[in-house]
């Protein structure tokens, strides 16, 4: 059974940083795209960042230059380093993995940016 478990969320002041982790189990995703999405109440889930098996990355315009996605294939884990956080970054962040035309999701972690 595939499981994606996020950690590292929490409350931070504007301008601060958070680092999210997502550990996958039940399948090897080293050759697959993985990424981070986020969602706020009343809005659709949106892509934050994607990373390919070769380390290529893609970011939403709203986070470019502030967020960095990375992966450790040996640990079947991806990370999201979030710097210069803004109140509008407040959301539930979800880890995603794509394999064999299926999407796998973590349970989500709430990140709140507030003074």
Q: pLDDT, tens digit, for every residue of 24-64?
A: 999 989 899 999 999 999 999 999 999 999 999 999 999 99
How far, in Å, CA of 29 to CA of 53, rounded?
8
Pair of tokens at residue 68: 């960095």
How far, in Å, CA of 79 to CA of 17, rounded?
13
How far, in Å, CA of 67 to CA of 110, rounded?
16
Query: What's the longest Cα–Cα distance across the chain?
Result: 43
Pair of tokens at residue 78: 């991806």
Pair of tokens at residue 39: 């969602």
How far, in Å, CA of 100 to CA of 84, rounded?
36
What pLDDT, on the 0 to 100 scale, is given for residue 19?
97
Lowest mean pLDDT among 22-31, 63-72, 75-84, 88-97: 22-31
What pLDDT, on the 0 to 100 scale, is given for residue 4?
96
């Amino acid at each position: 059974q595939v499981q994606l478990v996020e950690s590292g969320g929490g409350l931070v002041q504007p301008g601060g940083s958070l680092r999210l982790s997502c550990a996958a189990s039940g399948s090897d995703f080293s050759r697959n795209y993985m990424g981070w999405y986020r969602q706020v109440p009343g809005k659709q889930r949106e892509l934050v960042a994607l990373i390919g098996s070769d380390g290529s990355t893609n970011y939403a315009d709203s986070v470019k230059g502030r967020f960095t996605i990375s992966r450790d294939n040996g640990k079947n884990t991806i990370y999201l380093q979030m710097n210069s956080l803004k109140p509008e970054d407040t959301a539930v962040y979800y880890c995603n993995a794509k394999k064999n035309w299926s999407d796998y999701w973590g349970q989500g972690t709430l990140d709140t940016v507030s003074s």
